[in-house]
Each structure stands twice: as structure tokens, then as C-alpha cells.
Structure 1
Amino acid sequence: MSDDEPVVHESAYVDDGVVIGRGTKVWHFSHLISGSVIGAECSIGQNVVVGPDVAIGDRCRIQNNVSVYAGVTLEDGVFCGPSCVFTNVYNPRAEVSRKDEFRSTVVRRGATIGANATIVCGNEIGAYAFIGAGAVVNRPVAAHALVVGTPARQIGWMSHDGERLGEDLTCPRSGRRYEEVGGQLREITSSSPEA
């Protein structure tokens, strides 16, 4: 077996019709359900359920005890903390079938979802957003936003590198600089030509 081939633990179950990208690892007791596509170089933790028909991008990390249901899309580089929750029906009842009422949830590139956070269906998590542990997200989250609490509220901004930004909006790890424009964060790029 080459380093590029997916590694699936013997206790994991992969349905027919699942596509797993190169270098992806699927750990103990996980179940990948038919129609799902898992990108390259992902880590699918223990006791994870994916699908059916879920798309997961490259380099995603899904920690233990997470279910990624139909209607959820994870773009590249998404981190899902242990036991975080995605819903797919807004008002579920055990005795009422609502499979035709699934609402889609999109988690954009590089976002982080903390342990035990809940993402209510029908919302978009912006690129590089950071959802604090235990937060309950019931509305869309802007790119780079740091949100915490129940219901989740924004308390700051995060850099591409996952560092909380101070008042100067400069990443302490990379030095990348940002500016806030109309309630959104954007990176300041140098427009001066190289000498």
C-alpha cells in the first residue's frame, strides 16, 4: 500500500459508492454512507458517521463522535471538534417524517467548529470562522468571525491561522493584516510593486 492510498480501520464500515481521497484516514467504528465523497488527506475520527450524499473537501479533520448528515457540505480545511453536532431538520419530531424538509448547511474553507458546538441547519459558516466550544449557531456566521455562547454571538475576529485578532487586526502568528469593512473582515494586500 502506498502513502497515497486511503487507510480505513478494520472496524470502520464503508458503503458501496463512497469515494475516499488519497491519504485520507478513517478510524475506529466510523461509518461512511453511500453517495458520500471524502476529499484527500482528511482524518475521520472514531465513531464518525458521514452521509448519505455528503461532500467533504480536502484536508478536513473530523474528530470523534461527529455525525455529518445529508445536506451538510464541508469545504477544504474544515475542523470539526469532538462531539460537535449538525442538524438537518429545523423542527424534528420522532413521529413525523421530515426527510423532504432537510435544510442545507455549508461550512466554508478553513472554518473551525469547537467541541460540543451545535450548528442548526440552514446556516452558512463563513471561511475561517471560529465557532467556540459548546456554542449553538442558529444564524449565518461571517467569514473570520469568532462566535461563542447560546445562541452564538460574535465577540471578535480570527485570522487565517486561527489566532484571535486584537484591535490592530494583525495576526500575531503570521503578521497578516486585516481591515473591517461593512461588518466583514478582509485581508489587506500590498498593492505596491516589488522593488
Structure 2
Amino acid sequence: MHALVALGGNVMRAPGLDPAVFVHPQGVCESADVGVGTRVWAFAHVLDGARVGAGCNVCDGAFVEGGAVLGDRVTVKNQVMVFAGVTVADDVFLGPGVTFTNDLNPRAHVRHSVDELVPTWVDEGATLGARVTVVCGVTIGANAFVGAGAVVTRDVPAYAFVVGNPARQIGWACRCGRRLDPDLRCSCGRAWALDGDGLVESGALSCT
């Protein structure tokens, strides 16, 4: 484990951490594997062994465990918990209080190695709303939208709009984040079409 370095204002940063990574005076970043332009805010804690990409925003009270992976430009809002075995791709939004798990049979007296944890994958551009809970072992597809308070217990297709406990699909989401209408059109101007079990863009007007 790295010995933390306390700088002026009691900023706690791993030795070798790029100076272009901002760490709030009341934040802790034990990992040096953090990309340029990432910000770690007050009371957030990034453990040694975590990998965090460039341009991420790790907000107050968030926790990123060693063995967790965040891509580039990931938004990690307040009180998010990202544990070992979770991989989050680029441009993902994790709303306030999102919690991931990594053990299907947790017991306080049973210690699992990292290899025994159950992995979870969140694909690029996905949104997880406030207080979403993700039960480990699932894949959340690219640009999927998981509504606030949902409990994800199974895979979520790309572009799917899911809500509830357990989360169920009630529609589709545009790349801009808005829910598509029954004709698979978005108020942003994009049009979509079903292709097998998935969604493909059939009309390309830029979101505004």
C-alpha cells in the first residue's frame, strides 16, 4: 500500500499521483492510477488498487474500493459505493447513493479473495439514478437508463429504460437520456428502430 502524502491543507494523495488530479483537502486518494483532470471531493475515498480514468468527478462521500475500475469521464455522485469487482466504462453517470455489491452470499466471518468476488459490468454511457442498488453478476448495457431507487438483479439491455424492485424494462432510452415515445422517437429529434432484441438509431438529428 502507498504511504499517503499530506500536503498543504491536509490533502491526502498517493505518491506519484498526477498533479493534474484534484484532491479536496478533506478527500483521500490512495491510488496513483487516476487519470488527468479527475476530481476527488470532500470525504470521498479512493483506495489503493482502484483504477480511475481521466476527467472523472468523484463527489462528496463516495467510496471507490481497490479492485474497482472506472473509465474516463465517469460521474460518481455523493455517497456512491463502488466495490472490488465492479467495472464502469466511459461516460457513465452514477447518481447519488448508487450502491454496488460483489458477493451473493456475504457472511461477516467468511473472507473472500478478489478472485472469488462476483463481477459486475456497466457499459459506456449508462445512467444509474439516485439510490439504485446493483446486485452483483449483472451487465448493464450501453446507454441504458436505470430509474431512481431501482434494484437491478439481472442484465439490462443497451438503451433499456428500467425501473422498480426488481428492475423491469418499461421502455427505451435515447442516447441523450430521454425516454422514447411508443413510436421509438425522442423529443431531441432522434428516431430508433428495433433490431432483434435491441435498438438501433434510424434517424440522426443531434440532441439539443
* TM-score using structure 2 length: 0.84
Is 1:179 paired with 2:193? yes
State how 1:107-122 maps to structure 2 within 5 Å.
Answer: 107-122=122-137
Contact 1:60 1:77 (C-alpha < 8 Å) held by counterparts: yes
Give the superposition deviation at 1:149.
0.5
State how 1:1-195 maps to structure 2 within 5 Å.
Answer: 5-15=20-30, 17-99=31-113, 100-173=115-188, 175-188=189-202
Give the superposition deviation at 1:96.
2.1
Give the superposition deviation at 1:93.
1.6
* TM-score using structure 1 length: 0.90
Q: Where do 5+ consecutive residues of structure 2 fail to align?
A: 1-18
Give the superposition deviation at 1:39.
1.2
Residue 193 of structure 1 is matched in structure 2 by: none
Give the superposition deviation at 1:53.
2.1
Residue 3 of structure 2 is matched in structure 1 by: none
Q: Where do 5+ consecutive residues of structure 1 fail to align?
A: 191-195
CA–CA separation in structure 2 for the residues paired with 1:108 and 1:158: 14
* Aligned residue-pair number: 185
Q: Deviations over 1:91-127 (max 9, x none)?
A: 2122222345311101000101111110000000000
CA–CA separation in structure 2 for the residues paired with 1:165 and 1:8: 39
Give the superposition deviation at 1:189.
6.0
Query: What is the SS of the residue equivalent to 1:20?
Result: coil
More divergent stretch after superposition (92-101 vs 61-70): 92-101
User: Sequence identity of aligned pairs in percent?
Assistant: 46
Give the superposition deviation at 1:152.
0.5
CA RMSD of the aligned region, Å? 1.5
Contact 1:18 1:33 (C-alpha < 8 Å) held by counterparts: no
